[in-house]
């Protein structure tokens, strides 16, 4: 019996083994990849931990890592420029890193023959950019330890370039803090710390700093210039056939192209219908200020008072035509192109592809900015004549000549190239009157930065306008400083004039001429406001791509706290939202608790300034309505600088109104624990307002503005009771 059982067992096992052999392909094919030690493979090539920059450097044989702290994209642009220059000068490859995507415990593992660059912008009132918050915490937190168990970076070599604006109090604070933190831990800085001032010329500050830095870098790293060479960052290929529906014609994301739903943010802006677009300044005046309302219903977009709306503008038609003619692409504007990066770690393709030549120039790169001095040296290599080459090289190397011709003349890249070739800047560009330059399109993509959104303070409250975002924008328009051979011309801000075009189209208004002569008829910029594939235009309205950027510029949650708001000109925009926020709360409180519900509320004071009450008094008709609804808890103070004057004939500004109301202001801040908000131009207004506040508080404390007043201002900022939303 036992023998029989064993025979059956052996026979059954044989059948099973035979079956396994016969069907081995079907049974085990799917599981074959599991035999590959995937984790070990990833660890071997440095991709085991995507947040490990040291492993990525070793894997890519890179001797430089460049971290950038960037809010608007400028610091990232300079980081990429440094990487390109290191490659061109020394043949050294770099890893360009968003610090938000990496960990810093292994910063102490940077090899001796490597160096770290930090390109750090200072945001707001001395704050790190959003993507650099964790980096700064790690560098400044004494309890944070590196992989060796200590806070030491002995022998760690680094380079630093800070981006800031001298009109702000904490100029380049983040760059300086990174420098001091690294130095404190024993790191060795290569060269001088670079600091760029956006109030004057970030570009010139960078150019003056970088040559000395590279000399020090060569010595510290033991390398010689000339080991690199010019090499392309991208390969541009014309695609013979590609499905039209898969070609990006101005869309910013795959979701927009395929019309699928998703979160709307800076990577996927929302094409918001424009429901209202009206002029706020007096009719027939020389200046324009646009009030515009974007409908966000059904988009999933939310906002709070004090946030910013980012508007994605286009380049004007004339600049697109100018470069198409210069590049010899006038008749190939609609040719479909693919773009690949030759080194994605160094230079990512900055916009979605496949696309077209015309789309890149219109939607994706900033061809409307004043041409930088460095880019002119690059373009000189492709000049059509020796004279044009010499002209560009002179502008590239002669700082004074560049400043007179390009900077003061407000010349865009296309205009400089036309000028160098002897073309007229007055005529509308055509292939017949524009000299062709043999500039490869990959150079254009590499040299010209991405067209960035323009940000405006939101001038509404979601408590009153839950599905509508309001913005208030003065239209930027000014004259250049002509200098032979640069003619006189008008200069137009890209974002605000895009809004002006939308306003005219929304209301069916003709676009007015700048003046009555022939020049005016071609001077005002036009835009392809219908959008990609006409998607920004419907039978009833136009749309514009927007997203919301969060802010900490907020009212106190307790309405009993006094609030002082200073916002001349369009600086009043967020305060319209602030007041609407309080009106909504007042309505609910009165409905719930009766007419005396606001009795213990703190007063909201708005100090506003403009030229004249009959010319540029923004939202003039609304303020009395808000005063009535807030039952005496809102007071508006107005300064009309070209209407009312001091006894000596000088103009009255918001700071004069503050001084006149100094007793209430001192009491509201010191006794009432009130909050102060300043919004508007930073260069003079913001500083002067702070000086007056320091004087008021210093005297109220029985001291001086310089000592007691300055101490009180510092304390208010530390406690977030003095907040600024200012621009240069």
Is-contact 617 638, C-beta < 8 A? Answer: yes
Nearest to 159, CA basis, from 216, 76, 240, 197: 216
Distance from C-alpha of 271 to C-alpha of 544, rounded to nearest angstrom? 5
Question: Residues with Cβ < 8 Å from 389, sequence gap 6 or more?
Answer: 380, 381, 383
Residues flagged as binding site for FMN: 70-75, 121-124, 163-172, 198
For every residue of 332-377, DSSP letters joined together read: GTT-EEEEEES-TTT---SS-SSEEHHHIIIIIB-TTSBPPHHHHH
Q: List, by residue number, the catalytic residues.
A: 457, 679, 725, 727
Distance from C-alpha of 130 to C-alpha of 56, rounded to nearest angstrom? 24
Is-contact 553 723, C-beta < 8 A? Answer: yes
Query: Strand order of the sheet with strand 270-279?
Result: 454-457, 308-311, 543-549, 270-279, 289-295, 468-474
Backbone angles phi, psi at 223, to 5 degrees: -120, 160
DSSP code at position 514: S
DSSP code at position 669: I
Backbone angles phi, psi at 537, to 5 degrees: -130, 130
Longest dimension (CA), the chain: 127
Measure the CA angle with vertex 14, ends 12 and 17; round to 5°. 110
Question: For the packed helices 133-140 and 173-184, what is the interaxial angle rounded to 10 degrees?
Answer: 40
End-to-end Cα, the chain, rounded Å: 100
Question: Residues with Cβ < 8 Å from 173, sequence gap 6 or more?
Answer: 122, 126, 164
Residues flagged as binding site for FAD: 454-457, 472-474, 478, 493-496, 727
Look at residue 290 and give its three-state secondary structure: strand
Question: Residues with Cβ < 8 Å from 308, sequence gap 6 or more?
Answer: 455, 456, 457, 458, 548, 549, 551
Nearest to 389, CA basis, from 439, 327, 428, 447: 439
Residues flagged as binding site: 70-75, 121-124, 163-172, 198, 287, 454-457, 472-474, 478, 493-496, 570, 641-642, 651-655, 727
CA distances from 284 to 229, 490, 617 (A): 57, 19, 15
Q: Which residues pair with 638 in a beta bridge?
A: 608
Question: Residues with Cβ < 8 Å from 394, sequence gap 6 or more?
Answer: 401
């Amino acid at each position: 019996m036992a023998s029989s059982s064993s025979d059956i067992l052996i026979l059954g096992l044989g059948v099973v083994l035979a079956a396994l052999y016969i069907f081995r392909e079907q049974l085990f094919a799917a599981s074959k990849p599991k035999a590959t030690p995937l984790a070990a493979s990833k660890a071997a090539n440095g991709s085991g931990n995507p947040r490990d920059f040291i492993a990525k450097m070793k894997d890519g044989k890179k001797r430089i890592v460049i971290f950038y702290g960037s809010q608007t994209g400028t610091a990232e642009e300079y980081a990429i420029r440094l990487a390109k220059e290191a490659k061109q000068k020394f043949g050294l490859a770099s890893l360009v890193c968003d610090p938000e995507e990496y960990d810093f415990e292994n910063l102490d593992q940077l090899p001796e023959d490597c160096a770290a660059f930090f390109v750090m912008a200072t945001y707001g009132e001395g704050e790190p950019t959003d993507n650099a918050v964790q980096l700064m915490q790690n560098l400044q937190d004494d309890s944070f330890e590196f992989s060796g168990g200590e806070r030491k970076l002995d022998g760690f070599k680094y380079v630093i370039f800070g981006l800031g604006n001298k009109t702000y109090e904490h100029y380049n604070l983040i760059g300086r803090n990174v420098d001091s933190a690294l130095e404190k831990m024993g790191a060795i800085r290569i060269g001088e710390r670079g600091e760029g001032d956006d109030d004057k010329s970030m570009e010139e500050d960078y150019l003056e700093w970088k040559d000395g830095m590279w000399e020090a870098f060569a010595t510290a790293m033991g390398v010689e210039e000339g080991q690199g060479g010019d090499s392309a960052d991208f390969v541009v290929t014309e695609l013979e056939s590609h499905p039209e529906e898969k070609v990006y014609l101005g869309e910013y994301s795959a979701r927009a192209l395929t019309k699928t739903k998703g979160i709307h943010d800076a990577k996927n802006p929302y094409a918001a219908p424009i429901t209202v677009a009206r002029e706020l300044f007096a009719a027939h005046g020389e200046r324009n200020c646009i009030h515009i309302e974007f409908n966000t219903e059904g988009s999933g977009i939310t906002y709070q008072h004090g946030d910013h709306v980012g508007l994605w503008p286009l380049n004007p038609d004339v600049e697109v035509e100018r470069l198409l003619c210069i590049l010899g692409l006038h008749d190939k504007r609609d040719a479909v192109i693919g773009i690949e990066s030759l080194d994605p770690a160094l230079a990512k393709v900055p916009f979605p592809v496949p696309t077209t030549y015309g789309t890149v120039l219109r939607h994706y790169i900033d061809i409307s900015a004043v041409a930088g001095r460095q880019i002119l040296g690059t373009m000189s290599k492709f000049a059509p004549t020796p004279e044009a080459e010499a002209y560009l090289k002179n502008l590239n190397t002669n700082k004074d000549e560049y400043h007179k011709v390009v900077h003061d003349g407000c010349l865009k890249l296309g205009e400089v190239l036309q000028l160098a070739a002897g073309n007229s800047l007055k005529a509308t560009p055509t292939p017949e009157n524009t000299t062709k330059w043999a500039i490869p399109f990959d150079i254009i993509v590499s040299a010209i930065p991405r067209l960035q959104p323009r940000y405006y303070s939101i001038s509404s409250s979601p408590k009153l306008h839950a599905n509508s975002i309001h913005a208030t924008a003065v239209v930027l328009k000014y004259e250049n400083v002509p200098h032979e051979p640069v003619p006189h011309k008008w200069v137009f801000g890209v974002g605000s004039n895009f809004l002006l075009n939308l306003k005219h189209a929304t209301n069916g208004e003709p676009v007015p001429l700048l003046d009555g002569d022939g020049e005016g008829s071609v001077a005002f910029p036009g835009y392809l406001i219908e959008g990609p594939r006409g998607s920004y235009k419907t039978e009833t309205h136009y749309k514009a791509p927007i997203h919301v950027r969060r802010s900490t510029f907020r009212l106190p949650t307790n309405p009993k706290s006094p609030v002082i708001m200073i916002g001349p000109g369009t600086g009043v925009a967020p305060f319209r939202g602030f007041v609407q926020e309080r009106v909504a709360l007042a309505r609910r409180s009165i409905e719930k608790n009766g007419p005396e519900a606001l009795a213990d509320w703190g007063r909201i004071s708005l100090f506003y300034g403009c030229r004249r009450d009959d010319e540029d008094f923004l939202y003039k008709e609304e303020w009395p309505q808000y005063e009535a609804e807030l039952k005496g808890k809102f007071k508006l103070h107005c300064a009309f600088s070209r209407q009312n004057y001091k006894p000596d004939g000088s103009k009255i500004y918001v700071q004069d109104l503050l001084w006149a109301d100094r007793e209430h202001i001192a009491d509201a801040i010191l006794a009432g624990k009130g909050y102060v908000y300043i919004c508007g131009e930073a260069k003079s207004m913001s500083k002067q307002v702070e000086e007056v506040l320091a004087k008021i508080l210093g005297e109220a404390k029985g001291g001086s503005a310089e000592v007691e007043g300055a101490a009180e201002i510092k304390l208010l900022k530390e406690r977030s009771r003095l907040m600024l939303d200012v621009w240069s």
